[in-house]
């Protein structure tokens, strides 16, 4: 048993079972508990939007990235210690191309072990970031891990080469820490970044590009008065008052609080990612306007879909185009979150600075995604609180316990049921959302995905394709506190 679970049973949660926990969240759309910070908050829309550096290979197909502690300015005038890939938060953006394999050599100079998962990647099992496949800190910091040994734990001393074949379609992927019991605090501390896969099918489209293509990593954090990140941890593990998940009171986009970005009155491609631990978002443009969705988690849609609002659970991405020529020059367009009042109700602002030539377009036909396969079987996975743990089919996660053995090259219907908000993520397998409560899915469920928002007492059917590699993979809740509190399971592609 991990220190985490020991901590939970010590504190106890008997009064918060099932529907009581849901009722405690008020409006029913919030998945976590708010952790209030004490640092002075900057005025919104004053800090410029940062764009993460693009990672450069040290030789063709080989990247080196060092996980290290850094002190960075997130809140104006204060220094915040982060754990960053190359000391940055977000980490560098990896620009990958279909058919061009990449190796990422991760060196760990943090005080803790890590495991890096490429979220949405079709990756061989040895490079998928299994939670007990650990890179132990270089230079002898490994004492921290000594008492956290799990059965079958693998240790790489100092560095590990993650091998990515990149055989998949163009898509907005991201990477983040995935260590057993510690994903939530490690990601909160900064271990997340983008990986963009491009391909010829996408190259052929006249989509906005260059400065008009913006990756936007949205997450919430809380800061202490000295600028340090707050996170509710006891020395034994998670603070059990935050079992539902941790929500921060500061919204960051690419690591900046409520940033502002100047745009021309043209189309922009926004690659939106909700990288929050637990916070669900519902994005809208103010004073109005629509998102033209061109891609989902796993790549371009067949045809664009227009939305007024975008619900985003942790881990989900939307690839959208916003046409700023619809707004007067000199006006502002604010990306807002209608699921929160107060500071977390604002995300960032665009200032429409001037007119400019625009050769871009959103074609009515975007791509040819994989066709809908015929499923060979149906399996059920119930995401639920059981006693003092978050469980799948009543089971607390144990590495190596298999919940399913799908066959390579087949497709299956996975029926996901839930007692609460659980964004369900499958490693390796991409899926189509077939139904919610037996009815057609939402328009925003369009396309191939790897993460789906399963809401309280909802039944979501997805059709998953098991393509790529045999071996051990995972499904889990992407509320990172739930994930760390055992809401994971292994499956093996055979
Ligand atoms: Cu969950």
| pLDDT exceeds cutoff 80 at 217 | yes
**Count of alpha carbons within 13 Å of 117, Cβ hemisphere only?**
25
- How much distance in Å is there from the Cα of 453 to the middle of ligand 1? 10
Region 383-388: mean pLDDT is 90
* Ligand 1 geometric centre to CA of 476 (Å): 8
In the reported structure, the alpha carbon of residue 20 is separated from the centroid of ligand 1 by a whole-number distance in angstroms of 16
In angstroms, rounded to a whole number, what is the distance separating the alpha carbons of residues 68 and 81?
10
pLDDT of residue 299: 97
Token output for 443: 């328009």
The alpha-helical segments, DSSP class H, found in 381-435 are none
Distance 383 CA to ligand 1 centre (A): 7
Ligand 1 centroid, distance to 21 Cα (angstroms): 12
Separation of CA 35 and ligand 1 centre (Å): 18
In this structure, which residues have their CB less than 5 angstroms from ion ligand 1? 422, 477, 479, 482
For residues 110 and 6, the model is more confident at: 110
Tokens of 224: 């202490």
Q: What does the longest C-alpha to C-alpha distance in the chain come to?
A: 63
Instruction: Work out the pLDDT band at 359, boundaries 50, 70, 90.
Output: very high
Residue 482 Cα to ligand 1 middle (Å): 5
| Average per-residue pLDDT for the chain | 92
N- to C-terminal Cα distance for the chain? 29
Q: Which pLDDT does position 236 carry in this prediction? A: 55
**What is the model's pTM?**
0.93
Centre of ligand 1 to C-alpha 170, Å, is 28
Residue 120 has pLDDT above 60, yes or no: yes
* Cα of 213 from ligand 1 centre, angstroms: 32
The percentage of residues in the chain with a pLDDT greater than 70, rounded to a whole number, is 91
pLDDT tens readout for residues 412-438: 999 999 999 999 999 999 999 999 999
| pLDDT of amino acid 71 | 98
Confidence of residue 387 (pLDDT cuts 50, 70, 90): confident
Q: How far is the CA of 487 from the centre of ligand 1 (A)?
A: 7
164 C-alpha to center of ligand 1: Å?
28
Centre of ligand 1 from the C-alpha of residue 455, in Å? 10
Q: Give the CA-trace dihedral at 159, 165, 171, 174, to 10 degrees.
A: -10
CA of 421 to the centre of ligand 1 (A): 6
Query: How many angstroms separate the alpha carbon of residue 319 from the centre of ligand 1?
Result: 24
pLDDT given at position 30: 79
Would you say residue 4 has pLDDT above 70? no
Using the mean position of ligand 1's atoms as its centre, give its distance from the Cα of residue 277 in Å.
10
CA of 202 to the centre of ligand 1 (A): 33
Residue 29 Cα to ligand 1 midpoint, Å, equals: 13
Distance 409 CA to ligand 1 centre (A): 29
pLDDT of residue 104: 98
Which DSSP string do the residues of 26-68 spell out, in sequence order?
Answer: SSS---SEE----SPPPPTT-SBPP-PPBP--SBTTEEEEEEE
- Mean pLDDT over residues 183-205, rounded? 97
**Buried b / exposed e along 94-119 (16+ C-beta atoms within 10 A):** bebebeeebebebbbebebbbbbbbb
What is the whole-number distance in angstroms between the Cα of residue 394 and the centre of ligand 1?
13
Cα-to-centroid distance, 381 and ligand 1 (Å): 12
Residue 72 predicted with pLDDT over 80:
yes
Residue 121 CA to ligand 1 centre (angstroms): 21
| pLDDT of res. 152 | 86
pLDDT tens figures, 220-273: 999 999 999 999 875 556 667 888 999 999 999 999 999 999 999 999 999 999
State the pLDDT at residue 239. 66
Q: How far is the CA of 161 from the centre of ligand 1 (A)?
A: 30
Question: Cα(255) to centroid of ligand 1, in Å?
Answer: 24
- Which pLDDT band holds residue 150 (cuts at 50, 70, 90)? confident
pLDDT band at 140 (very low <50, low <70, confident <90, very high): low
Q: Compute, in angstroms, the gap from residue 313 CA to the centroid of ligand 1.
A: 10
Tell me which of 246 and 30 has the higher pLDDT.
Answer: 246
Please give the distance, rounded to the nearest whole angstrom, from the Cα atom of residue 114 to the centre of ligand 1.
22
pLDDT at residue number 191: 98
The whole-number average pLDDT for the span 399-424 is 97
Model confidence band, residue 29 (pLDDT cutoffs 50, 70, 90): confident
Q: Pull the structure tokens for residue 442.
A: 């939402």
Average pLDDT for residues 327-334, to the nearest whole number? 98
- What mean pLDDT comes out for the span 396-415? 97
Nearest residue to 489 via CA among 333, 407, 361, 381 = 381
CA atoms within 13 A on the CB side of 262: 7
Tens-digit pLDDT profile for residues 32-48: 899 999 999 999 999 99
> How far does residue 310's CA lie from ligand 1's centre (Å)?
20
From CA 392, how far away is CA 400, in angstroms rounded? 14
Cα(96) to ligand 1 centroid in Å equals: 30
The pair of structure tokens assigned to 54 is: 């693009």
Q: Give every CB contact of residue 346 below 8 A, 6+ residues apart in sequence.
A: 44, 45, 251, 258, 334, 336, 337
Q: 30: CA distance to ligand 1 center in Å?
A: 12
Q: Residue 19 above 70 pLDDT? A: no
């Amino acid at each position: 048993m991990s220190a985490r679970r020991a901590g939970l049973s010590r504190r106890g949660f008997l009064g918060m079972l099932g529907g009581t926990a849901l009722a405690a969240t008020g409006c029913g759309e919030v998945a976590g508990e708010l952790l209030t910070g004490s640092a002075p908050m900057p005025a919104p829309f004053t800090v410029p939007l940062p764009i993460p550096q693009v990672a450069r290979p040290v030789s063709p197909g080989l990247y080196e990235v060092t996980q290290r502690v850094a002190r960075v300015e997130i809140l104006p005038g204060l220094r915040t210690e982060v754990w960053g890939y190359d000391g940055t938060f977000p980490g560098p953006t990896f620009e990958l191309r279909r058919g061009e394999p990449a190796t990422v050599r991760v060196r760990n100079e943090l005080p803790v072990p890590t495991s890096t998962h490429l979220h949405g990647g079709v990756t061989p099992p040895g490079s998928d970031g299994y939670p007990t496949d650990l890179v132990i800190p270089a230079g002898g910091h490994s004492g921290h891990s000594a008492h956290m040994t799990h059965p079958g734990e693998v240790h790489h001393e100092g560095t590990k080469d993650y091998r990515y074949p990149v055989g998949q379609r163009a898509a907005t992927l991201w990477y983040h820490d995935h260590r057993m019991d510690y994903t939530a605090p490690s990601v909160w501390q900064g271990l997340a970044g983008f990986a963009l896969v491009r391909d010829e099918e996408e190259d052929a489209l006249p989509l906005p590009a260059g400065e008009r293509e913006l990756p936007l990593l949205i997450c919430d954090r809380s800061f202490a008065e000295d600028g340090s990140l707050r996170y509710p941890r006891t020395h034994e593990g998670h603070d059990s008052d935050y079992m539902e998940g941790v929500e921060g009171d500061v919204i960051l986009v690419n690591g900046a609080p409520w940033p502002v970005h100047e745009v021309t009155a043209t189309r922009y491609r926004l690659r939106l990612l909700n990288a929050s631990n637990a916070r669900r978002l519902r994005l809208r443009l103010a004073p109005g306007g629509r998102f033209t969705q061109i891609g989902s988690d796993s790549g371009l849609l067949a045809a664009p879909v227009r939305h007024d609002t975008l619900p985003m659970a942790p881990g989900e991405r939307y690839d959208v185009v916003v046409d700023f020529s619809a707004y007067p020059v000199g006006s502002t367009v604010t990306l807002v979150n209608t699921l929160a009042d107060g500071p977390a109700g604002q995300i960032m602002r665009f200032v429409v600075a001037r007119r400019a030539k625009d050769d871009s377009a959103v074609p009515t036909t975007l791509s040819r995604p994989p066709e809908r396969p015929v499923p060979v079987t149906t399996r059920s996975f119930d995401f639920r609180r059981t006693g003092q743990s978050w469980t799948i089919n009543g089971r607390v996660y144990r590495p190596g316990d298999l919940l399913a053995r799908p066959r390579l090259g087949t497709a299956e219907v996975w029926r996901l049921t839930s007692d609460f908000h659980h964004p369900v993520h499958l490693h390796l397998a991409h899926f189509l959302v077939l139904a919610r409560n037996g009815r057609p899915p939402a328009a925003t469920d369009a396309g191939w995905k790897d993460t789906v928002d399963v809401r309280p007492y909802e039944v979501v059917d997805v059709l998953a394709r098991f393509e790529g590699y045999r071996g051990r993979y995972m499904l889990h809740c992407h509320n990172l506190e739930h994930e760390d509190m055992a809401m994971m399971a292994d499956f093996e592609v055979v």
